[in-house]
């Protein structure tokens, strides 16, 4: 048990393995949901790519963030990093089977969003048009 959340849940009598699952779920969702991971996985879903190609395809990403994202994904075993000792150097990134299965799972959410995007957009419009409309104090994403 590592986190405050974990101890809290444990004190409330939640089963340990369930607690572990909840932590890991949040952890993995945080990874998937962060600013660049989803796009990177999506781009890699169409095939292996080298660093520079990814840097172009993921559009607004900085080299630093691409590097970090790829290392995190590699650490989780979702992506493989293959360096070819050539001149000039070439490094290829590809989804592992695990990465592809995650990509498939994410597709579920993607489809949910596709199905309900109009609802969400409408709800946001409606909310923002309301009297108070505290959009200023909303999280930035």
Residue 2 within binding range of DNA, rule CB under 7 A: no
Quick check: 65 binds DNA (CB under 7 A)?
yes
By the rule CB under 8 A, 108 interacts with a second copy:
yes
The answer to the question of residue 52 lying near DNA (CB under 7 A) is yes
HEC profile for 74-134?
A: HHCCCEEEEEECCCCCEEEEEECHHHHHHHHHHHHHHHHHHHHHHHHHHHHHHHHHCCCCC
Interface of this chain with a second copy, residues 6 to 25, rule: CB under 8 A: 8-9, 20-22, 24-25
Provide the minimum distance between the beta carbon of 115 and DNA in the complex, in angstroms, as a whole number: 26
Residue 120: CB atoms within 10 A of its CB come to: 10
Determine which residue in the list 4, 84, 86, 87 makes contact with a second copy, applying CB under 8 A: 4
Out of 13, 60, 108, 131, the only residue in the binding site for DNA (CB under 7 A) is 60
Question: How many residues bind a second copy, per CB under 8 A?
Answer: 62
Interface residue with DNA among 62, 101, 117, 123 (CB under 7 A) is 62
Q: How far is Cα 93 from Cα 44, in angstroms, rounded to an integer?
A: 8
Binds DNA by CB under 7 A, chosen from 1, 15, 71, 104: 71
For residue 118, give Cα distances in angstroms to 110, 115, 124: 14, 8, 10
């Amino acid at each position: 048990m590592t986190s405050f959340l974990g101890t809290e849940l444990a004190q409330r009598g939640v089963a340990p393995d369930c607690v572990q699952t909840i932590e890991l779920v949040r952890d993995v969702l945080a990874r998937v949901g962060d600013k660049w991971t989803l796009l990177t996985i999506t781009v890699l879903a169409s095939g292996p790519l080298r660093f520079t190609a990814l840097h172009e395809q993921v559009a607004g990403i900085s080299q630093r963030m691409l590097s970090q994202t790829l290392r995190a994904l590699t650490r989780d075993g979702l992506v493989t990093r293959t360096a070819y000792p050539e001149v000039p150097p070439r490094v290829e990134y590809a989804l592992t089977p695990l990465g592809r299965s995650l990509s498939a799972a994410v597709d579920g959410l993607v489809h949910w969003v596709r199905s309900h995007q109009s609802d969400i957009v409408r709800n946001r419009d409606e909310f923002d048009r309301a009297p108070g409309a505290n959009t200023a104090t909303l999280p930035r994403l």
